[in-house]
Amino acid sequence: MPDHDLSEAQVAALLDYLHAGGPAIDEQHRLRLAAEATPLDVQQGRKLFLGETRLTGGALACVFCHQLPKETLLGGSLAPDLSGAYTRYLDWALDQRLRRPCVPGGAEQAARVAETESLALRAFLRSVSATPSSR
């Protein structure tokens, strides 16, 4: 007589989960929040935004389409001002947005920014945000 109320299917799923790495893998996949970023991450995000460091996926730097008046007066004016982007979207939604191509269409399937680049950009956008959120 088992000392738990789990069904056989649930036990099998639990075993599969543990076999696949369990909580350790979860921790690896957990989205690092901008609030946890170091000043170095923020600096890296600034360089990525302004195009001083190239994005590994080869995507255009944000500054060519977006403005960020606190940082530069030379930002593009095709797309919205990103000053309030972090407070509006916060980490999860902003990460998803950063990974998708900015312009619909085309065959690009690869993520536009890498995980570390997403953190750096979110941290940078959080740092220039009008009212930084602690979330």
Residues that bind other proteins (CB under 8 A): 51, 59-60, 64-65, 74-78, 102-106
User: What is d(CA 111, CA 118) in angstroms, rounded to the nearest whole number?
Assistant: 10
| Beta carbon nearer to other proteins, 22 or 76 | 76
As measured in angstroms, the least distance from the Cβ of 94 to other proteins is 19
Q: Nearer to other proteins by C-beta: 36 or 108?
A: 108
Neighbours of 65 (CB within 10 A): 16
User: Shortest distance, CB of residue 132 to other proteins, whole angstroms?
Assistant: 27
Look up residue 21 and give its two tokens. Answer: 């790495």
Minimum CB distance to other proteins smaller for 50 or for 120: 50
> In this structure, are residues 51 and 64 in contact, taking their beta carbons and an 8 Å threshold?
yes
- Contact yes or no for 49/71 (Cβ under 8 A): yes
